[in-house]
Amino acid sequence: MRAKYNSSLRGCDLQYAPLNSMTSIYQALSELEKNNQSAALCTVTKSEGSTPRHVGSKMLVYPDRSFIGTVGGGELENRVIKAALDSIDNAEPQTLSYSMADPSRGDPGVCGGQVEVFVEPILPPATVIVIGAGHVGKAVVHLAKWLGFRVVVNDDRAEFCTPESTPGADEYYPIKMGELAEELKITKRSYLVVTSRGSGVDAEGLPSLLESNAAYIGVIGSKRRWATTVKALKDLGIKDETIDKVHSPIGLELQAETPQEIAVSIMAEILMLQNKATGKPMKG
């Protein structure tokens, strides 16, 4: 069972957790992986002197602030929960160190000891959402899956949006592009690859996607095609700063021609952004 933080507890009051708490945490971790969900695992890695919990104590924090297990209760736990939410949001682990001596100087308790907590974000694989299952779209699906991404395919042509026509994806959405944001949760770990069949489809479908939290929106096509789409989006009242979220032409400059080469260009750009890399040659 998940709990909600109770600020009325002091950091030294909680000395034990239910006997099945570790089992519950490990079961919950398995469920996270099965359901492609996020959380942060918080583990006491150092405990000196009088502290509320021993080394190895764990707490699993969910994005809605609910949690399983405990690292000590009270203000200590409240601070760890806040840090856990940050780690889920920015996908970065962190080590927290606290002195439990003097709340007047900012300490989270009065036990007298010192405690260290390692916060590890548990995140599902990032998702590549391929919109348009033509030749390039199929190649992107294949490469993205090989690279370890979760892959979703969307195409309003139902015959293209099937495992038989476009193998390798985890989910298929045979609906219009403009309906996708209503049916699929798009997060900061979603990378949208628009390989549709034309500017008209893009102009109609992009507005709702531009309002999403997607980490990346790339649209295939020439500069001229994108200019046509931009004009249509502006005619719909879409602001410049919103349109500027889009990467188009899509991918890194590789002089790519075949669908497979274009897929490499696209996924190279996504990896560059995901890993906060430069895309520059390793030599020089």
Q: What is the pLDDT of residues 53-83, one digit of tens each?
A: 688 999 999 999 999 998 877 778 888 999 9
> Any residues with CB less than 8 A from the CB of 202 and at least 6 apart, and which?
177, 194, 196, 219, 221, 229
CA–CA distance, 169 with 71 (Å, rounded to integer):
39
Give the chain's domains with CATH numbers.
21-122 (no CATH), 127-274 (3.40.50.720)
pLDDT for the residue 14: 40
Say whether pLDDT at 262 is over 90: yes
- Rg of the chain over CA atoms, in angstroms? 23
Return the C-alpha torsion angle 276, 279, 282, 284, nearest 10.
-110
Residue 240 has pLDDT above 70, yes or no: yes
Q: Per the confidence metrics, is the pTM higher than 0.85?
A: no
The C-alpha atoms of residue 10 and residue 74 are separated, in whole angstroms, by 4
Average pLDDT over all residues of the chain: 88
